[in-house]
Structure 1
């Protein structure tokens, strides 16, 4: 059929189809899906129906999303619970759901081992710094990674008891 023109007979994408396409690429929170569909121009009632359907079919589950994201970040990215908590809140996961997901991840991913591993690597890479100064820098690094201050202090005192005086004044504020 030389010279024939194909007509585009496909229907415009539905909100459900768009949401499924997003979920096929990666996990999303309910809030992220709602926001993306609204940005794509879908009506509120279509978004609401899509979210209900996705929940019913178990494609959308904030509790599972929170646990999977927490487990992944803590195991693979070397970040602590505070950093993950902040990320979940940013993604619109309710506080109670985020906390439950964190607790599930903490049961599987030992945070103390992650702190120890990161601390040893940091310590070896900064061997030119004076030990007390290096320990204070390490404490700040681990806090920025989202680990609780109490855990960081305890682990650093256990790993380098000789220089634990350098941690005085860096005690835990709020967990």
Structure 2
């Protein structure tokens, strides 16, 4: 009596899923592995992506990383499809607002400590890595509210440093230029400064008093050096130094 050949087993049947894994034929008809399922899931993702169903990527039905074979999870360093599709249109405005708020707080603290020229304050804020657009908008608003006024700043600076540091017109102009002030504002602030000879004499007299007891040449050199550092013209330096030493 001839034996009936066994009917081929359908891979999708319950029998196929329960078939033992030993032997060559068992390996050829092995059940779908986790790797196979992952491939099927990726194929479905590609299809839905092509159809524009981006909301699918938020679905939690995809295989979890803990359920995947180690050789698969180790290669998943690249961003996921869901990560690639996450666009935040509000990111740039939020960054601008945050940068503007921090820049404003910093600027208020700086202005509370002392006056600043617009360019000087802008440079300091940019060095703190605030967004240039946020800094520019802040500077414009501070100027509009007159919390920043370059012309008034220049005149106040000249008065204060003329009195306290005994700076010449030339030195004052140089200092204002370093603040980034426009040339016309600098010229307007220093043009009315008078009494250059008198101020130079005050500087020379103070230095002469502190060098009494030294040789005449040493005293002369030190007085001339002091006047030169304050920015006085060489003709004024020589004239005042000789007069002060002759009188001392």
Q: TM-score, normalised by structure 1?
A: 0.71
| CA contact 2:115–2:153 (8 Å) conserved in 1 | yes
Gaps of 5+ in 1: 1-10, 163-175
Is 1:115–2:200 an aligned residue pair?
yes
* Pairwise CA distance, 1:161: 5.7
Deviation at 1:60, TM superposition (A): 0.9
Q: Could you say which residue in structure 2 is the equivalent of 1:130?
A: 215
User: Which residue does the alignment assign to 1:3?
Assistant: none
Residue matched to 2:241: 156
Aligned to 1:8: none
Name 2:45's counterpart in structure 1.
none
Shift of the alpha carbon at 1:65? 1.4
Structure 1 runs of 4+ aligned residues shifted over 4 Å read none
Corresponding residue for 1:169? none
In structure 2, the partner of 1:87 is 175
Q: Which residue of 1 aligns with 2:93?
A: none
1:7 corresponds in structure 2 to: none
SS in structure 2 opposite 1:59? coil
Larger radius of gyration: 2
Distance 1:157 1:96, change over 3 A: farther
User: What is the Cα deviation at residue 158 of structure 1?
Assistant: 4.2
Q: How many matched pairs?
A: 149
Distance across 2 between alignment mates of 1:148 and 1:155: 11
Q: Secondary structure at the match of 2:228?
A: helix
Contact 2:228-2:237 at 8 Å conserved across structures: yes
Task: Map Cα deviations across residues 30-82 of structure 1 (whole Å, 9 max, x no partner).
Answer: 11211122223322222222111111111111222122112111101222223
- Gaps in structure 2 of 5+ consecutive residues: 1-96
Q: 2: CA distance between counterparts of 1:95 and 1:125?
A: 38
How much has 1:129 moved relative to structure 2? 2.9
- 1:14 and 1:58 map into 2 onto residues whose CA distance is 20
Q: Tell me, yes or no, if the aligned pair for 2:208 and 2:245 is still in contact at 8 Å.
A: no
Deviation at 1:135, TM superposition (A): 2.3
1:61 counterpart residue number: 149
* Equivalent of 1:21 in 99, 109, 131: 109
Rounded to whole Å, the distance in 2 between the matches of 1:131 and 1:71 is: 34
**What is the Cα deviation at residue 157 of structure 1?**
4.4
1:145 corresponding residue in structure 2: 230
Residues 1:40 and 2:118 are matched in the alignment = no
Query: For the residues of structure 1 that align with 2:172 and 2:209, how far apart are their CA atoms?
Result: 26
TM-score, normalising length: structure 2:
0.52
What's the Cα RMSD here?
Answer: 2.5
